[in-house]
A and B are shown apart, each in its own frame.
Chain A
């Protein structure tokens, strides 16, 4: 039986001191934490512009509600329209001008969604 000498690295637990280990883990966790925080922030804020625009719409509602009307039938120009032209909702004239009807676009079978 022959013997052969060779060199190998010492075990990692010997080479890496506790301090070094914690430094590496610390850097890793910091990178992960900052990255994850930023990414989830980006994703969570993705609809912000929609909400801001909606808030603007409701602000218009508040302004107009007090100065003109809160609901459609209280807009005084609407009864004027019906008095002078439309007669009443679902009248013949509004059926002709303000209503419509729809047809399927594919007559035999609908497209699969």
Chain B
């Protein structure tokens, strides 16, 4: 079975570090903001919050500086929206039909605009993933800038902007984390080959047939066959 390299090692490392840092930051932030623990615990959690924020900032910058080709490819992918990408939204890539089409109750929904089967051909990331990518990049910027400004010099921002940065920091993180937790994680688990390619202790490959089915335009335009000697 021929394999396609979907996520090289550098991307996978950065993804895992991002993932861990993100959730640690989210949990420490939520507990502190919503007063879900004692003062001493909150103090310790906020210290953790700052350390992990430093790691996240560092790894993001390192990703761009050390492997700029991967960073640029990723940016190009999420910024490049064509007709097929827009068309994906017409029925959410066929996911509603895929999940619920086999149930009897679906016949009540089948005439709704998002209920149809089928999906236009997608590139490496489908439209939903592109949106996620944009959200994550935007939120990393917003959270990073607001977070570090508030940590290093809240006394120089002015009260209005300090309070505004704080509110953005809290609510952007909550909204994006909800998006990630409710959409990205379930869908990634459902698409098991993709999950495995990211987390397997080996190569970040997916089967060629799987790639041809899900990401035909990627296979067609951007891949090249190589021969690996074992």
A binds B: yes
| CA gap between A5 and B208 in the complex, in Å | 11
Chain A residues with Cβ below 8 Å from B229 are 1, 3-4
Report the minimal beta-carbon distance from A101 to chain B, rounded to whole angstroms: 36
Interface pair B158/A46, CB less than 8 Å apart = yes
Contact with A along B91-131 (1 / 0, CB 8 A): 00000000000000000000000000000000000000000
Q: A12-B72, A15-B76 are in contact. Are A7 and B156 (CB under 8 A)?
A: no
A111: CB under 8 A from chain B? no
Nearest Cβ on chain B to A54's Cβ, whole angstroms: 18
- A46 B3 Cβ-Cβ under 8 A: no
B-binding residues in A (CB < 8 A): 1-13, 15-16, 20-21, 23-24, 27-28, 31, 35, 39, 42-43, 45-46
Task: Rank and list the top 9 A-B pairs by shortest CB-CB distance, nearest first.
Answer: A12-B69, A7-B4, A8-B5, A7-B223, A6-B3, A4-B228, A10-B224, A46-B158, A43-B156
Known contacts A16-B73, A27-B79, A42-B157, A5 near B5 by CB under 8 Å: no
Q: How many Å lie between the Cα of A13 and that of B68 in the bound state? A: 11
Contact A7 B230 (CB under 8 A): no
The answer on a CB contact under 8 Å between B230 and A3 is yes
Pairwise interchain contact A9-B5, C-beta atoms closer than 8 A: yes
Would A6 and B224 count as touching, CB distance under 8 A? no
- In the bound complex, do residue A21 and residue B224 qualify as a contact, i.e. CB atoms below 8 Å apart? no
Q: How far is the CB of B140 from chain A (nearest CB, A)?
A: 12
Give CA–CA (A43, B154) in the complex, Å: 10
In contact, B223 and A10 (Cβ under 8 angstroms): yes
Return B217 CB to nearest CB of chain A, in Å: 12
B13 at interface (Cβ–Cβ under 8 A)?
A: no
**A24, B68: Cα distance in complex, Å:** 12
B48 interface residue, CB < 8 Å from A?
no
Confirm or deny: B205 has a beta carbon within 8 angstroms of a beta carbon on chain A: yes
* CB-based contact A6/B228 at 8 Å: yes
With both beta carbons as reference points, the residue of chain A lying nearest to B228 in the complex is identified as A4
- How distant is the Cα of A92 from the Cα of B33 in the complex, in angstroms? 60
| Residues of the B chain whose Cβ atoms lie less than 8 Å from the Cβ of A35 | 141, 145
B9 at interface, CB cutoff 8 A: no
B-chain residues with CB within 8 Å of residue A4 when the two chains form the complex: 227-230
Query: Does B82 touch A at the CB level, under 8 Å?
Result: no
Q: A5, B2: Cβ atoms under 8 Å?
A: yes
A46 / chain B contacts, CB cutoff of 8 Å: 156-158
Smallest beta-carbon distance B214→chain A, Å: 14
B91 shortest CB reach to chain A, Å = 28
Please state if A7 and B224 are interface contacts (CB–CB under 8 Å).
yes
Q: Are the C-beta atoms of B5 and A3 separated by less than 8 Å?
A: no
B219–A7 touching, CB < 8 Å: yes
Residues from chain A with Cβ under 8 Å of B80 in the complex: 20
Which residues of B sit under 8 angstroms from A1, Cβ to Cβ? Answer: 229-230
Contacts of A23 in B (CB 8 A): 79
